Amino acid sequence: MTGVQTCALPISSGIPVVSTKVGMVPDIAKDEKNVLLADVDGSEELLKQAKRVIEDGDSKERLVQNATDEVKKYSWDNIARRYYQEVYSRL
C-alpha cells in the first residue's frame, strides 16, 4: 500500500487522520486542512495533535469533511474523467 493509499483509506472512512510528514503522506495530506501532521521525530507534537482531534469536536468534523472532499478527487471515476479530458478529448 502506498503512502497516499495509507492516508486515503482512513480519510475515506470518516476517520480523522493524525500522521507524520513522511513518505508520500504530504501528497494528499494538507496540515490543518484535512489532517493534522507532526514532524517525523516529533513524538510530543504527534501526541498533541492526537489529543486535539479527540478533544476538539469542531476541528475533528472540519478535518473529516475536508478530507472526504479531497479523497473524492482520487476516485476512479474522477481519474478516468480527467484522463479522458486531458488525453482523448484532444484527438
Residue 49: alpha-carbon gap to chain centroid:
15
Residue linked to cell 469533511 = 65
Dist CA 6 CA 85 (whole Å): 28
Dist CA 48 CA 69 (whole Å): 25
pTM reported for the whole predicted model: 0.72
Give the per-residue pLDDT at 3.
57
Give the per-residue pLDDT at 28.
75
Q: Which residues pair with 35 in a beta bridge?
A: 31
Cell matching residue 84: 479522458
Between 21 and 10, the higher pLDDT residue: 21
